[in-house]
Amino acid sequence: MTVVSLQYFKYDIDFVFRQKSLTILALNRIFKDFKLGSLTLSVVFTSDKQLLKINKERLSHNYLTDIITFDLSTPTSKKEIDGEMYISIDRVRENSLAFSGSFSAELCRVIIHGTLHLLGKNDESENEKLLMRGLENKYLFPLFHMKHIKNKVLGLL
């Protein structure tokens, strides 16, 4: 049985998270597919300014990003996942406009993306990026099953 514990916070931003049920559906599918025992996840919604600060201080990167994920899992337990995600709502909003997708779909994609990182999936090489995008789509599309939403997410419209 998969145990999922999710907590959501906001910092330095006025934001209401309306995609909770969609996120839980996607995460339940991921953890069933990966045969995990439990998930403890804290998601912090913040601004570009705050995420850039975290990126500089914690990762020594001086650029904007949509998500930073920290794996807090115990190294001895690969089936028990514990992590923190920091998500820039500014970046998600911009990316949804740039890729002609909905904000809700882009936010769910980013949370799925961070979760896949916690499961050991990387996106450094072109092959890894393709695999990551394929997995994101696998878990995202059932949530947004209408054809026009799929096309918007894929950038086909």
The number of domains in the chain is 1
The answer to whether the predicted template modeling score (pTM) of the entire model surpasses 0.85 is: yes
Question: Quick one: the chain helix, strand, coil %, rounded to 5?
Answer: 50, 20, 30
Radius of gyration of the chain measured on its C-alpha atoms: 15
Residues of the chain scoring pLDDT < 70: 1-3, 145-157
Q: Determine the pLDDT at residue 75.
A: 76
Provide the residue range defining the domain that includes 92. Answer: 3-154
Q: Determine the pLDDT at residue 66.
A: 96
Q: Determine the pLDDT at residue 76.
A: 72
Q: Determine the pLDDT at residue 154.
A: 54
CATH of the domain at 16: 3.40.390.30
Long-range contacts of 49-57 (CB under 8 A, 24+ apart): 49/12, 50/11, 50/12, 50/13, 50/86, 50/88, 51/86, 51/87, 51/88, 51/91, 54/86
Max Cα distance, the chain (Å): 46
Write the pLDDT tens digit of every residue in 111-137: 999 999 999 999 999 999 999 999 999
Q: Which of 134, 123, 138 is nearest to 69 (CA)?
A: 123
| Average pLDDT for the chain | 88
Q: Determine the pLDDT at residue 147.
A: 45
**Is the separation of the CB atoms in 2 and 38 below 8 Å?**
yes
